[in-house]
Structure 1
């Protein structure tokens, strides 16, 4: 069946038996292909029937289908003609999220949660203003994404729009990355179909049939009022109190029920919520039974296991537990990512001091400010890319109030195959403008432990410790130290041609560049500041003894560490020119980290050649030989 489907229109000719066969084939395809390449398996196995039904009921791309957060759009890709998954999430292959460059069926390509409803509100409004009254906008949003405040801002506005067709499909699988938390999760639990639900309805029918009402039974009266028994018995108040029409709960794996519900919603002239119950990992036992995350995402299959050391995340995990044992005031906060950011062990050891706020980074940060005001020291652990969403809270709620909050940013820098929305390449530029903030980018595991301990000791300002994805590199030892700056090669006391300032994970690259330059007759000092913000005064002094400064960072070059150091040197009347080696100001595609660093010119060979050219143009070698 899958071979016969090249676009959504092909689904209309299939009968129910063929559609069920198609669903089975799609699941086999996903398990085979995603196990080979890596990717988001569990979420997509859970939306097979839902995606088929959506494309049968709605006319994409005339009717717009939006996916929040987008990691469950693999089935959508298959049904819109994109069947080559051989290079999924690899350079030149399919993106792991909707991508406008791939298909007209992908209208947005966001992969930050809780945003699709705002897009939907805007698109539906545009349809009304342009007179497109026969078009519908559909947003598929998970119960996890509904824990994000932005989703409720959108719902508040959508509910006021009675005159435009907009369908909100709540894909309720009780999980985002991990089990959904909070009051919304509790409410949705009351709406879910349980094993005893049909028996519950039958018993309700029996009771209501026995109650006389205006000359007939209450059961008949409810039907006469066009209000079914399920509507009477099910607590739908959350959505209907907002003024939204509600349909459901619907079995998200029953094609007939799904189509009936979606067609009913499509025929309504205003906004409608369709509540679908799905099972993450449906049809693949390892995914269904995986208790940690139901195989939310898996890595690629490898020919043989590769020996790797501990990950950055695991080093943080061990250290925060140690700190927590010594400091009863230290608490941990995360936004629906407790396991990915390494807080599982802390939560097991100190459950009453661990807070998962759902997909609500803004709330996480301001809540942390409140905890700090109350005498605690919060550690907010997030992916670097997700701190972008809470910048105002970092600036105004934490820094302005001089709150002692530590931010631990995982997956900083180039993260690889999740693509442009997941690269943690903006944080050092964004955070440099925050008054009083201290920012560290440790180069190895030992430095991560040291910087984290120092960060939680700061009680009157925000601190940030950021590190990349993957295994911790071999330790890069210091050969000297001067006032907050580690010397990795050369001497801080002597003058030299080039000063290389390494930032975080670029340390090994910086050392290799220094060796290459030394081999070419260039005198070099390589340093690694313990804290890159604020700039250590010693770094300004050392820079003044060199003919050229080169800053290596895996952050966007605009506004990054190099920019701030250049500004600091000018203010100190140090005339040494600064060259910045960082990521370009653009959205990097999905590819391996090594491929993206090479494209950005950040390999040791590329940086060495560039610096040698600069040394030659500056005449540093000629000046030294003449002297």
Structure 2
């Protein structure tokens, strides 16, 4: 496919630009099916992305995409079309906006509701650094971002002098269908009709009437305020933003009309554009939830038929809720991803989706616990980072009950640095009184969930259960089939003792088996209880003469399990042998396949095997 330059795109006629939009959609469908990634949202935003490039002048004008997963079209329009086959692959294009990747990405994003804050900061910096030089600053937000408090905190900071443009890409979806008062409010606006295009057409028609056209246009002007009151979102009034819309975000003519009007104005403008998630691809239009993020066809396997950790979590909690009427679940717009759709159908009055509001969800869970309920908060590891303070201050400090289910622990493949679950162990280990388990089989996960619920019934306290994306490893299941705080494979004189936590255990076991074939005698200690760490003296009693200890974990080294054990080896009963820590060093890990990321961090089976061979 030919990708137009910025200048060429601006020179296209409106009709040719519309044809180009259709070509971009066909290209996206073909490519994302090969690479995997976020498809439905990008199909819906094509006209907005094209319109922005035709009306404004990036990179001088700053276009900031909220979350960033809706930026595929933006990448195609900014010189990255020929690289698009590398999307989400190791060393290739990132699936989100990334400052290091292109000057057209002024702000990186992977978590929701940050774009308005960033845009406002860049606008103010422009005044400080560049003086009177004015460039447009535009934040493109999804309607799901309006359920996040950060968006409104930023809007609260906007002044009438800020030439800020906020574009609402309203497709009535985030990942799961949107919830809450703001979603309902904009649904009313959405269904009230396209006011702005109607007003523009009416002005054009009336002004063209000979003799009386001017008079009629003036008369309309006297009544348009009353018309607009019917559709103008009153929720925006306190922020002092000029509202444009609602308009059809999949009609390029309407998009460019509204963008030009916003560019003409001096103060802050809020543009409301309604789009169709999955636009132009029937399967995605009918089921935008499934096509929000798809797997590459080349990597699809029969795993879809297997039970994932997320699905097992949902099924076990639903079963436990049958005999525990106090159990309720909370999610921050991730019901499908966290496996809670079944619970929501079975116990709708005990299921709470609070929207993209992780911090609120945590304190909401604290309130449920204080009121006598047994709250279960399911959240991805990366998104948990957004509510650490609430966990510490609102839950732990008051010794309130909480089962914290931490999904997507460890590497998250193609999504990259913004989505890896590598920091939760180090963060959670600082919480007084918290219990943290990391089960690696479905049976072990089920047992830890039952144990956590029993602990909540006995009294307060936080029990965290972290588990990886996808399905259990048959190799881990073979060696460690049952739950125990710590389990050992190996006995007798031991060359190297691997102490491991997390899904990287599979790589350790592969290295263990290979070392056995070389005549070595390794041992593997799997830690399921990560905090507080269990006494290991009895568990390690079958092994003797340990020459080296390798701590291996799929998480950040600083504050991780390895550092904790190494710093207090005698307290935990570790053998007196040299310790080496294999973990993610103090750096961010890029995107790529799991095999590439393990090798990148030195956590793959071959790296561990080679290191063990050097032991004398």
TM-score (normalised: structure 2)? 0.90
Given the superposition, is the C-alpha separation of residues 23 and 403 from structure 1 closer, same or farther in structure 2, using an over 3 Å criterion?
A: same
Q: 2:347 aligns with which of 350, 353, 358?
A: 350
Deviation (angstroms), 1:237: 1.0
Within 2, Cα distance between the matches of 1:405 and 1:86? 43
**1:483 touches 1:538 (CA, 8 Å); kept in 2?**
no
Given the superposition, is the C-alpha separation of residues 335 and 452 from structure 1 closer, same or farther in structure 2, using an over 3 Å criterion?
A: same
Within 2, Cα distance between the matches of 1:374 and 1:218? 61
Within 1, Cα distance between the matches of 2:194 and 2:242? 26
**Is the counterpart of residue 603 in structure 1 residue 604 in structure 2?**
yes
**1:193 touches 1:277 (CA, 8 Å); kept in 2?**
no
SS of the equivalent of 1:23 reads helix
Partner of residue 213, structure 1 = none
Deviation by residue 1:448-503 (Cα, 9 ceiling, x = unmatched) = 1111111222232111111111222125356899983222x124xx6744332221
SS of the equivalent of 2:57 reads coil
Partner of residue 340, structure 1 = 337
* 570-579 vs 396-405, which moves further: 570-579
**1:68 touches 1:140 (CA, 8 Å); kept in 2?**
yes
* 63-72 vs 478-487, which moves further: 478-487
Within 1, Cα distance between the matches of 2:547 and 2:195? 77
Given the superposition, is the C-alpha separation of residues 539 and 293 from structure 1 closer, same or farther in structure 2, using an over 3 Å criterion?
A: farther
Partner of residue 532, structure 2 = 534
Given the superposition, is the C-alpha separation of residues 270 and 318 from structure 1 closer, same or farther in structure 2, using an over 3 Å criterion?
A: same
Given the superposition, is the C-alpha separation of residues 570 and 59 from structure 1 closer, same or farther in structure 2, using an over 3 Å criterion?
A: farther
Partner of residue 569, structure 1 = 569
Partner of residue 50, structure 1 = 48
Given the superposition, is the C-alpha separation of residues 480 and 69 from structure 1 closer, same or farther in structure 2, using an over 3 Å criterion?
A: closer
Q: 1:328 aligns with which of 319, 325, 338?
A: 325
Given the superposition, is the C-alpha separation of residues 530 and 74 from structure 1 closer, same or farther in structure 2, using an over 3 Å criterion?
A: closer
**Is the counterpart of residue 372 in structure 1 residue 369 in structure 2?**
yes
Partner of residue 583, structure 2 = 582
Given the superposition, is the C-alpha separation of residues 79 and 372 from structure 1 closer, same or farther in structure 2, using an over 3 Å criterion?
A: same
**2:583 touches 2:603 (CA, 8 Å); kept in 1?**
yes
SS of the equivalent of 2:409 reads coil
**2:504 touches 2:603 (CA, 8 Å); kept in 1?**
no
**2:403 touches 2:452 (CA, 8 Å); kept in 1?**
yes
Given the superposition, is the C-alpha separation of residues 600 and 304 from structure 1 closer, same or farther in structure 2, using an over 3 Å criterion?
A: closer
Within 2, Cα distance between the matches of 1:294 and 1:443? 26
Deviation (angstroms), 1:567: 2.4
Given the superposition, is the C-alpha separation of residues 138 and 548 from structure 1 closer, same or farther in structure 2, using an over 3 Å criterion?
A: same
**1:482 touches 1:538 (CA, 8 Å); kept in 2?**
no
**2:487 touches 2:539 (CA, 8 Å); kept in 1?**
no
Q: CA RMSD in A?
A: 2.8
TM-score (normalised: structure 1)? 0.89
Given the superposition, is the C-alpha separation of residues 228 and 332 from structure 1 closer, same or farther in structure 2, using an over 3 Å criterion?
A: same
Deviation by residue 1:317-373 (Cα, 9 ceiling, x = unmatched) = 221211121221111111001001100111111111110010000011111111111
Q: Map of 1:108-147 to 2, 5 A cutoff?
A: 108-130=107-129, 131-147=131-147
Within 2, Cα distance between the matches of 1:293 and 1:366? 28
Given the superposition, is the C-alpha separation of residues 277 and 304 from structure 1 closer, same or farther in structure 2, using an over 3 Å criterion?
A: closer
Within 2, Cα distance between the matches of 1:550 and 1:435? 27
Partner of residue 76, structure 1 = 74
Given the superposition, is the C-alpha separation of residues 520 and 303 from structure 1 closer, same or farther in structure 2, using an over 3 Å criterion?
A: closer
SS of the equivalent of 2:609 reads helix
SS of the equivalent of 1:154 reads helix
Given the superposition, is the C-alpha separation of residues 254 and 196 from structure 1 closer, same or farther in structure 2, using an over 3 Å criterion?
A: closer
Partner of residue 162, structure 1 = 160
Partner of residue 181, structure 1 = 179
Deviation (angstroms), 1:198: 10
Q: 1:295 aligns with which of 272, 287, 291?
A: 291
Within 1, Cα distance between the matches of 2:512 and 2:79? 50
Within 1, Cα distance between the matches of 2:340 and 2:19? 41
Within 2, Cα distance between the matches of 1:304 and 1:537? 42
Within 1, Cα distance between the matches of 2:377 and 2:300? 36
Q: Map of 1:98-117 to 2, 5 A cutoff?
A: 98-117=97-116
SS of the equivalent of 2:81 reads coil
Deviation (angstroms), 1:239: 0.7
SS of the equivalent of 2:525 reads strand
Deviation (angstroms), 1:184: 0.5
SS of the equivalent of 1:167 reads strand
Partner of residue 15, structure 1 = 13
**2:429 touches 2:531 (CA, 8 Å); kept in 1?**
yes
Within 2, Cα distance between the matches of 1:200 and 1:165? 26
Deviation by residue 1:386-429 (Cα, 9 ceiling, x = unmatched) = 10111111111111111111111111101100111011111111
**Is the counterpart of residue 502 in structure 1 residue 500 in structure 2?**
yes
Within 2, Cα distance between the matches of 1:250 and 1:197? 7
Q: 2:512 aligns with which of 511, 514, 517?
A: 514
**2:484 touches 2:528 (CA, 8 Å); kept in 1?**
no
Within 1, Cα distance between the matches of 2:499 and 2:333? 35
Within 2, Cα distance between the matches of 1:304 and 1:485? 34
Partner of residue 485, structure 1 = 486
Q: 1:279 aligns with which of 267, 273, 276?
A: 276
**Is the counterpart of residue 443 in structure 1 residue 440 in structure 2?**
yes
Given the superposition, is the C-alpha separation of residues 411 and 303 from structure 1 closer, same or farther in structure 2, using an over 3 Å criterion?
A: closer
Partner of residue 551, structure 2 = 551
Deviation (angstroms), 1:145: 0.8
**2:439 touches 2:483 (CA, 8 Å); kept in 1?**
no
**1:222 touches 1:228 (CA, 8 Å); kept in 2?**
no
**1:441 touches 1:532 (CA, 8 Å); kept in 2?**
yes
Partner of residue 477, structure 2 = 476
**2:537 touches 2:573 (CA, 8 Å); kept in 1?**
no
Deviation (angstroms), 1:42: 0.6
Partner of residue 209, structure 1 = none
SS of the equivalent of 1:302 reads helix
Within 2, Cα distance between the matches of 1:200 and 1:16? 19
Q: 1:33 aligns with which of 28, 31, 34?
A: 31
Within 2, Cα distance between the matches of 1:366 and 1:303? 39
* 423-432 vs 581-590, which moves further: 581-590
Aligned residues: 594
Deviation (angstroms), 1:132: 4.2
**2:197 touches 2:247 (CA, 8 Å); kept in 1?**
no
**2:508 touches 2:605 (CA, 8 Å); kept in 1?**
yes
Given the superposition, is the C-alpha separation of residues 223 and 533 from structure 1 closer, same or farther in structure 2, using an over 3 Å criterion?
A: same
